[in-house]
Structure 1
């Protein structure tokens, strides 16, 4: 028997191997992003510097930190994104295996009845052949089809990883935003409770004055109407409070029925925040997960042009088999006949170039769309960041004005009550002042909430938060980033 390893390749195989390998299709390079040198004019409290990874610590609320840690570990959206990363990693391993020989063991039993014209004289009319063999085939990647496929798989895996980072950053921001909305609702409920207490006392005062003949029924009815107006704010606030608690439950991976939010750390006033470091626009694009995902999608689309282009050229495979043949099953080990073959196979879509070129054109169009999507993602990142800066500046201005308004309204209500108790002025002045006081206190609570939400929006726009998982590997799917 001639040994397989000593068998010379046919001249065609030798010529193909000597020709070397060429990778067709465009080579990818990251597109330049037209970013401004700076963010321009930023509001007070926003400045340059390294972006804080665990930005939520600036609020100094341990309950919020615990919720974000739990969400990054148990949130289902994070888990889904991590599973998609695992899928992309598996597909990448499969693509890399395409560069290696494939095959396996096979066994067959063939029974045939030979006709008279094909049966030698004296030979039996029925034959049986047993065969066991190891078959293999290997594609010689002469024009880079497999290499481009691997490039696309690598880029696709990178895109999935970036999307996972984006989900983590988004979940952290959503937990913080929902938490502050809940805290804001609690602050409004506290205002309602305090004003309700005051109005109940005012109503009792009016009723005593009416009994003494110093007030009339109209004054009493107005006092009662204001009290009921204040009380009527409670049901809607309670509904919003329950909805915020349920939203937090889903974010941290728990059922709404069994979830109890942690107690906030007093005091519940405006946080003493440090200056928010926002870096530079170039840093923003390097940090934003959606920009990274769009860039990796562009790399994958570019590599797939090469995959399609490779179909214009010959595809060469080497197939081989080595095994044993025997007419009896029990004779395979001892009396079996050794058999082998090695064969180069050439495939060339000479008659199908029209379809191949159509697929190339489609791949090029998809790459162009991916480039436009990348540019659009960059513009959207810059827009969201600028919007967040402007919202933060506006919320700060609004908060300062609401503080002044609440102080003035509270003092006006106090003076109106004193004047009425001293026999000066009408009770209508007291009602108007207390109504304005109630509205201004609620507006102040909303302004404080909006100011906190504006801080969250800045960090969400900056893409911060995901790198905590990458460093600690304590979050759902963090091991996929590290691999």
Structure 2
């Protein structure tokens, strides 16, 4: 018996593992993307996980780092990660023998007409029964059933880790986007206030000319309407500013308006360096959390096939028990009260009504689905990176053209006002040019905002940034 148990133990350690072994899938991604922004140099596969620092805004960096600590979605994802690690610990415990101890005390009376009376009192009086035992059990993992379960648990940990990384990336990107939008709205408020001052100056000038009989009330009405039109935009922009501050407060797990004092001071829109490295390698996209998550899901599905196959084979467990049993508490622990047992147990599935076969087939189909989902996620990432690069490059050109338009419209407005003061043109020309200037200035602010946000989208699409030179 001892030799048999030793052989079974050795077989458990060196036993085979049924089912397919997981091999990392090959991605169809290219070695590099040809960036539409043809500046910069090729880089390696190193990812800058703190990419928001490349936006060059200390307050934004503070907000993102605080959101990573206090955001409720991040904390929930972290809790799920800890749960998966605990489950891995629970599953891993199946690889080792289980030892337990216990004791019991009973006072009872047996039937005089029954089959068994261990007290030999023939059911005439009650008796006591004392027990104290140490039990041990161990399933011999001959076919890898336990090892595949542990492998699934490891894949679950990687999956929840990737989910948490994805939440962190999303929260960081959302925080940066809302912050950039906030600075853009504040910049539009500055533009509106500046144009409002110009419109009021024009209105006063027009009124003076009307009072002196130089112009008609048509010009005064037009100038007053221009003032009112610009004034009407300011409350709307203020409301958008408050909503964005509330959005950032929510991301940081704070109540509404909690960041009002901190964010009410106007600052420039973050303006990162425009260059994007040409040789962004495919390894960057492989670091995207969603790709890692889908790969972990594929790994888990592959290991599940091994678990389903192992269920077809016998399961052998070793058990042992040693302890004491006595009718009197004073005898418990005496050498004559000792008892023990040991030996193997065997479970062999013979007929399961197709349950095992159906489960195996189901696991294979689930593995195929996970493989298809992996390909889908990778292809989607490829498109997302390419689109993000195109959008960012196009916005750079758009911004440069708008800067020139603002310069020309500013010059045109100054010229139109001078000519109006000299009586060489009517006020309609001044209004037309001023409206054009206000529109292009607002468009320039929106373009600067969009350029910064497109940069954030590029970081998010790549799962992080690239090394700073």
What's the TM-score once normalised by structure 2's chain length? 0.91
Q: CA RMSD in A?
A: 2.7
Q: Determine if the alignment matches structure 1 residue 71 to structure 2 residue 67.
A: yes
Residues 196 and 26 of structure 1: CA distance in aligned 2, closer, same or farther (over 3 Å): same
Question: What do the CA deviations read for 1:46-71 (whole angstroms, capped 9, x no partner)?
Answer: 65224544333333222122222222
Structure 2 unmatched ranges of 5 or more: none
Matches within 5 A, 1:289-300: 289-300=289-300
- How far the C-alpha of 1:41 sits from its partner, in A, is 4.5
Instruction: State how far apart, in whole Å, the 2-side matches of 1:299 and 1:138 are.
Output: 27
Residues 78 and 30 of structure 1: CA distance in aligned 2, closer, same or farther (over 3 Å): same
Corresponding residue SS for 1:411: helix
Question: Equivalent residue for 1:155?
Answer: 155
- How far the C-alpha of 1:258 sits from its partner, in A, is 2.3
Residues 440 and 316 of structure 1: CA distance in aligned 2, closer, same or farther (over 3 Å): same
- How far the C-alpha of 1:264 sits from its partner, in A, is 9.3
Question: Equivalent residue for 1:481?
Answer: none
Instruction: State how far apart, in whole Å, the 2-side matches of 1:296 and 1:360 are.
Output: 20
- C-alpha contact (below 8 Å) 1:63/1:265 kept by paired residues: no
- C-alpha contact (below 8 Å) 1:63/1:262 kept by paired residues: no
Question: Equivalent residue for 2:121?
Answer: 124
Question: What do the CA deviations read for 1:100-144 (whole angstroms, capped 9, x no partner)?
Answer: 122412223453514447469x94123543211112211111111
Question: Equivalent residue for 1:29?
Answer: 23
Question: Equivalent residue for 1:96?
Answer: 92
- How far the C-alpha of 1:18 sits from its partner, in A, is 5.1
Corresponding residue SS for 2:29: coil
- C-alpha contact (below 8 Å) 1:312/1:353 kept by paired residues: no
Matches within 5 A, 1:126-205: 126=123, 128-205=128-205
- C-alpha contact (below 8 Å) 2:37/2:276 kept by paired residues: no
Question: Equivalent residue for 1:322?
Answer: 322
Question: Equivalent residue for 1:476?
Answer: none
- C-alpha contact (below 8 Å) 1:323/1:338 kept by paired residues: yes
Question: What do the CA deviations read for 1:368-423 (whole angstroms, capped 9, x no partner)?
Answer: 11111111111111111101001101111111121122122222222211111111
Question: Equivalent residue for 1:305?
Answer: 305
Instruction: State how far apart, in whole Å, the 2-side matches of 1:91 and 1:117 are.
Output: 47
Name whichever of 397-406 and 381-390 sits farther off.
397-406
Residues 466 and 364 of structure 1: CA distance in aligned 2, closer, same or farther (over 3 Å): farther
- C-alpha contact (below 8 Å) 2:331/2:337 kept by paired residues: no
Residues 335 and 37 of structure 1: CA distance in aligned 2, closer, same or farther (over 3 Å): closer
Corresponding residue SS for 2:346: strand
- C-alpha contact (below 8 Å) 1:286/1:292 kept by paired residues: yes
- C-alpha contact (below 8 Å) 2:68/2:74 kept by paired residues: yes
- C-alpha contact (below 8 Å) 1:162/1:289 kept by paired residues: yes
- How far the C-alpha of 1:298 sits from its partner, in A, is 0.8
Residues 18 and 77 of structure 1: CA distance in aligned 2, closer, same or farther (over 3 Å): closer
Question: What do the CA deviations read for 1:414-453 (whole angstroms, capped 9, x no partner)?
Answer: 2211111111122111111111111111111111111111
Instruction: State how far apart, in whole Å, the 2-side matches of 1:375 and 1:400 are.
Output: 38
Corresponding residue SS for 1:352: coil
Instruction: State how far apart, in whole Å, the 1-side matches of 2:75 and 2:466 are.
Output: 14
- How far the C-alpha of 1:96 sits from its partner, in A, is 1.0
What's the TM-score once normalised by structure 1's chain length? 0.88
- How far the C-alpha of 1:88 sits from its partner, in A, is 1.0
- C-alpha contact (below 8 Å) 1:137/1:317 kept by paired residues: yes
- C-alpha contact (below 8 Å) 1:52/1:277 kept by paired residues: no
Corresponding residue SS for 2:312: coil
- C-alpha contact (below 8 Å) 2:35/2:278 kept by paired residues: no
Instruction: State how far apart, in whole Å, the 2-side matches of 1:156 and 1:270 are.
Output: 38
Question: What do the CA deviations read for 1:316-351 (whole angstroms, capped 9, x no partner)?
Answer: 111221111111223213376111111311111211
Question: Equivalent residue for 1:113?
Answer: 110
- C-alpha contact (below 8 Å) 1:144/1:307 kept by paired residues: yes
Residues 18 and 239 of structure 1: CA distance in aligned 2, closer, same or farther (over 3 Å): closer
Corresponding residue SS for 2:121: coil
Q: Determine if the alignment matches structure 1 residue 40 to structure 2 residue 34.
A: yes
- C-alpha contact (below 8 Å) 2:77/2:160 kept by paired residues: yes
Question: Equivalent residue for 1:207?
Answer: 207
